[in-house]
Amino acid sequence: MLDHILALYPPQSEETALINRIDEKRLPTHVAIIMDGNGRWAIQKNLKRNAGHSAGAEAAREITEIAARLGIKYLTLFMFSSENWQRPVSEVQFLLDMFYKNLIEQHELLAKNDIKLKIIGDTGKLPGKLQEKLREVEKSSQTNQRLQVNLALNYGSRPEIVRAIRQIIGAGIPADKVDEATLGKFLYTAGCPDPDLLIRTSGEMRISNFLLYQIAYSELYFTPILWPDFRAKEFFRAIIDFQGRERRFGSI
């Protein structure tokens, strides 16, 4: 399995050394990432914040392809939160336009790497043109099986849980029949296993309303690396750190 990714790097490279430390039998099935630090990355380089978002999009593409080659089955990327509408109008518009442009350009990436795309979040509040493109790309990738990428757009975990409860009530399910499995079926991530590993970049030590229900037993990995600089080597280090942990799920 790891031969698919070793072929990308010279034998003596740092990437190859890190890959050789990864146990392919103990890979996380589902990795979720809070991609933080685009703006600070741009400021450090005396660039406009939008340059940071563009660099962050490149990092997302690289990590997506690396995840597919590693054999990870689910990757959830926090692209745009329900709170991000509070940012300057010009920055929000740039992000929405960038999402649309990237969707057009990523057909080849999805097809080449056998990646299925799923959008999670309240997409009804996104621009109509972007909603249409999201549906188109989702549909065209539905038969792909190597990796499922969940893009969290206009996503917030608390609104997700409220939405699920409302749908359960609307479905007429009696209160005494509602359990964890029932709630899970009404979340945006229905059908996906919970994340084994949650990564947050940029040094911030918080979850920011992301997958609050789903990460109950996820391993958390915080790194000071800003998202545009979080590339293959940093991803490999996160996987190695995950594999060094003992997951007990409440038992001894």
Locate 195 and state its tokens: 């994340």
Specify whether the CB–CB gap between 146 and 115 falls below 8 A.
Answer: yes
Which amino acid, one-letter code, is at 25? K
Catalytic residue selected from 20, 23, 36, 144: 36
150 in active site: no
**DSSP-H helix ranges across 20-71:** 38-44, 49-70
Residue at token pair 């926090």:
78
Catalytic residue selected from 46, 84, 194, 241: 84
Nearest in space to 80 (alpha carbons), one of 130, 148, 153, 134:
153
In whole angstroms, what is the distance from residue 43 CA to residue 41 CA?
6
Q: State the helix-helix crossing angle for 128-140 and 89-105, rounded to 10 degrees.
A: 30
Locate 63 and state its tokens: 């990590």
36 in active site: yes
Q: Which residues are catalytic?
A: 36, 84
